[in-house]
């Protein structure tokens, strides 16, 4: 990718150069905003995000070392966990106290690091479970075939279209348990799209995926943006992040320590330290505020 092909930075004019953008910078049109979100487990603070905004119709990567709090932050934003304090909103609507299933119905859907396919159901049945507004799920209506048959046909047609797009149509009658790890990732992503979401959150979509399927997954993620969706994903593969991300947010020790254009963020010494352990003169503890190193005087 040439310099002219770099993703554009989806932020308001701040007077800062891209490499100087501070954590929590305001975006042009944020779809998700979190303020003062903190989650503690006993004496451990897993997440302590002062302010972060996710730009609409962009692909944002959330990166950081293991234990940085990325998945916990995902759980908090999507209703799978409850923070000790903080506020967060989606499309201007507060998500505080909203359970996960209602968050999904609002258009914010997530996938998991460990796939949640129901192994003893067929691939098609897994897909159909992802659809909302199903009349046949109501007890009183389930006994009247004519009330839900038409909707069921529509859902199955939508599911088959998605399975074809994800090259899983030949597996539609197979049990989900028979799929490979990579195919389960594809199934989970396809099932998420049954809800017609606005924001798709992917937790390590490439984890455990055969390299042969990597490019396919990358293409699917890029297509989500082309179709008008917003993507927020957690990933450790920096080559993938550079390839598809418009924006990068870096977490360490539960805090957002850096964000910006992927090419500039990767040059940040604190980010390099987080991943590679080089640049030991820049301690992530000082970036997060956990410790304060004494100032060293000039050598005489």
pLDDT in tens, 64-109: 888 889 999 999 999 999 999 999 999 999 999 899 999 998 999 9
Burial class (CB within 10 angstroms; exposed 0-12, middle 13-18, buried 19+) of 157 = exposed
261-280 average pLDDT score:
70
- Check if the beta carbon of residue 189 is closer than 8 Å to that of residue 126: no
What does pLDDT average to over the chain?
A: 80
CB-CB neighbours of 150 under 10 Å: 10
CATH class of this structure's domain 3-117+196-288: alpha beta
What tokens were used for 265? 């963020």
What tokens were used for 257? 């320590």
**What secondary structure, in 3-state letters, does 145-169 show?**
HHHHHHHHHHHHHHHHHHHHHCCCH
Give the H or E element holding residue 102: helix 100-105
Torsion of CA 222, 227, 233, 238, to 10 degrees: 20
Q: How far apart are CA 176 and CA 23, in angstroms?
A: 41
Most confident of 8-17, 67-76, 138-147: 67-76
What pLDDT was estimated at residue 279?
Answer: 39
117-133 average pLDDT score:
83
Question: Quick check: 294 pLDDT over 60?
Answer: no
What tokens were used for 129? 């479970």
User: Three-state SS for 233?
Assistant: strand
The residue among 32, 76, 38 whose CA lies nearest residue 256 is 38
Size of the chain, expressed as the number of residues it contains: 300
Please, where in the chain does CATH 3.40.50.300 lie? 3-117+196-288
Please state whether 131 falls in left (phi above 0), alpha (psi between -120 and 50) or beta.
beta
User: Three-state SS for 142?
Assistant: helix
């Amino acid at each position: 990718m040439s310099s002219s092909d770099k993703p554009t930075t989806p932020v308001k004019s701040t007077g800062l150069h891209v490499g100087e953008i501070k954590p929590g910078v305001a975006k042009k049109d944020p779809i998700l905003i979190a303020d003062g979100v903190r989650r503690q487990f006993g004496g451990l603070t897993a997440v302590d995000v002062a302010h972060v905004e996710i730009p609409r119709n962009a692909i944002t990567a959330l990166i950081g070392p293991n234990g940085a709090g990325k998945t916990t932050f995902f759980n908090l934003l999507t209703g799978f966990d409850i923070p000790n304090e903080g506020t967060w909103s989606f499309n201007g609507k507060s998500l505080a106290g909203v359970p996960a299933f209602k968050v999904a119905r609002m258009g914010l859907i997530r996938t998991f690091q460990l796939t949640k396919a129901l192994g003893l159901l067929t691939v098609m049945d897994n897909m159909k479970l992802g659809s909302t507004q199903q009349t046949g799920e109501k007890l009183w209506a389930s006994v009247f075939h004519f009330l839900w048959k038409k909707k069921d046909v529509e859902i199955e047609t939508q599911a088959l279209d998605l399975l074809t797009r994800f090259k899983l149509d030949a597996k539609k009658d197979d049990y989900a348990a028979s799929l490979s790890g990579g195919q389960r990732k594809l199934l989970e992503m396809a099932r998420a799209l049954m809800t017609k979401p606005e924001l798709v959150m992917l937790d390590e979509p490439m984890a455990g995926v055969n390299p042969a399927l990597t490019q396919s997954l990358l293409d699917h993620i890029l297509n989500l943006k082309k179709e008008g969706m917003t993507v927020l994903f957690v990933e450790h593969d920096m080559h993938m992040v550079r390839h598809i991300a418009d924006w990068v947010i870096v977490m360490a020790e539960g805090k957002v320590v850096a964000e910006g254009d992927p090419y500039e963020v990767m040059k940040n010494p604190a980010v390099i330290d987080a991943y590679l352990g080089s640049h030991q003169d820049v301690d992530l503890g000082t970036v997060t505020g956990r410790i304060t190193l004494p100032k060293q005087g000039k050598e005489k």
